[in-house]
Chain A
């Protein structure tokens, strides 16, 4: 079969993903073949209400979820799991214990106020930090930083090891995020480094990888509402506002730990937490949660 050859650069490349399969070429003589899940039109300034599955109206307001829909076998997926977020879910679960531990660890680390300042708080005030400042492009460090990476970084300055993805790191992250509860996520991906990360994140989200040749988008876009090993697939809009979350099977999970789980479940070698590809996907998913309110502590099955 003859392959059509088209030369493209930069932004035009994303548009081409609409046609499905890609061949990516590196140099004049070496080529690698790769495939993409068809790209969606995410726009340059995305908002959570752009959700392509048409379910946004059902999970827009977490306080007013339709209880019948939540209880329905066939329709529950339309609520995008928000029934396990506060205020709909007021039950006491491991996420609350994590919040308490996070408050304790935070107080310990912040004895002289330097830890909060390092995280970006003004006068020690954590209000809005999660919703409006993370993930960020950190000029000083010259890279994308999510809240957990920053917690690791700032704890290290105090001589304490709190690895991104560890329970104690996520506990502090939950505690910090409680100060953004009810505040909509604001992330500006219309310019600068975050714009680049947002675009790269789209590309990564749609790249088919692993032994099963699946992209994140294979399960989270066109197949939303279908079942995979008994679990209903949901939209990826509004997915970034409730992290870290308490997984009811037994663990406190940060967003990137979830990425390693989704990677494994679909037969793709996971990456180290903080890998550039994960950071870019995190920026992308936060952009798709723009305008959606932070709600922690949350739980997920």
Chain B
């Protein structure tokens, strides 16, 4: 399905920093020195809040520790996992309540950012509506692969590779699948 990827030899001269070292994907070991982090925060990942009437800003905690994923820094030499095909080891063994939470929580799956389901305010239209997903009878193998890594089916897709990127755990994917089974 995937079009052939391109191989850029000799590095990209348009980048300020050549990729001298390649760190493995999904490792905080490759975190660049200019990432905005605050070691005193549990999540480490910080953002600047401009306090009114001050010449400095406050560092506030983000909802999740994002250090393990590739950033925009030129010093960040990490790559990302390639599209990954997985086999589904059924049956679905998840908690639909927890699945709904993951589905609708910004710092977790945040599926509603892009997908419509009934009963949630502020949904999105970037992806197809999943309001009647269960009624459409898609095989679990398909749904699992979509959640693990949708790039295998749809090259260049905006649907995030939740499993391959270590963004959701195996159990969380099962929880979401259990919730999606209720969407009809």
Contacts and interface: CB of A to CB of B under 8 A. Distances in A.
Interface of A: 1-11, 13-14, 16, 19-27, 30-35, 37-38, 101, 155, 160-163, 165-170, 196, 199-200, 203-204, 207-214, 218, 223, 226-231, 251-254, 257, 260-261, 263-264, 267-273, 275-278, 281
Contact of B21 (A5, A24, A26, A281): A26
A23 B125 contact: no
A28 to B, nearest CB: 8
Contacts of A276: 16, 34, 73-74
A111 to B, nearest CB: 17
- CB-based closest 9 A-B pairs: A32-B79, A26-B19, A230-B122, A30-B22, A7-B9, A4-B4, A269-B66, A212-B160, A5-B7
A44 to B, nearest CB: 14
A228 B12 CA distance: 33
A208 B72 CA distance: 9
A32 B73 contact: no
23 contacts: A7-B8, A7-B10, A8-B6, A13-B13, A21-B5, A25-B9, A32-B25, A33-B5, A33-B82, A34-B70, A160-B55, A167-B52, A167-B57, A227-B125, A229-B106, A230-B121, A252-B50, A260-B48, A267-B64, A267-B69, A269-B36, A269-B67, A269-B71
A25 to B, nearest CB: 5
B124 A32 contact: no
A200 B113 CA distance: 29
A24 B12 CA distance: 7
Interface of B: 2-16, 18-23, 25, 31-32, 34-37, 45-57, 62, 64, 66-74, 77-82, 106, 110, 112-114, 121-126, 155-156, 158, 160-161, 165, 167
Given A30-B22, A166-B56, A228 B71 contact: no
A80 to B, nearest CB: 18
A129 to B, nearest CB: 21
Contacts of A264: 45, 47, 62, 66
A24 B72 contact: no
A27 B165 CA distance: 25
B39 to A, nearest CB: 14
B103 to A, nearest CB: 13
Given A16-B8, A26-B22, A227-B123, A272 B80 contact: no
Nearest to A32: B79
A265 to B, nearest CB: 8
A27 B20 contact: yes
Contacts of B10: 7, 9, 25
Contacts of A207: 72
Give the dominant DSSP class at B's interface: loop
* A contact face: mostly helix, strand, loop, or mixed: mixed
A267 B66 contact: yes
Given A26-B18, A161-B55, A199-B14, A278 B72 contact: yes
B125 to A, nearest CB: 4
B123 A229 contact: yes
A21 to B, nearest CB: 5
A173 B45 CA distance: 27
Contact of B80 (A34, A167, A257): A34
A163 B77 contact: no
Contact of A228 (B19, B82, B126, B156): B126
Given A7-B10, A23-B5, A227-B124, A211 B160 contact: yes
Contacts of A199: 14
A26 B11 contact: yes
Nearest to B7: A5
Given A8-B8, A9-B13, A162-B55, A167 B22 contact: no
A31 B73 contact: no
Contacts of A196: 14
Given A209-B69, A209-B72, A223-B158, A200 B15 contact: yes
B49 to A, nearest CB: 7
B167 A212 contact: yes
B53 A101 contact: yes
Contacts of A6: 6-9
B53 to A, nearest CB: 6
Nearest to A98: B52
B7 A271 contact: no
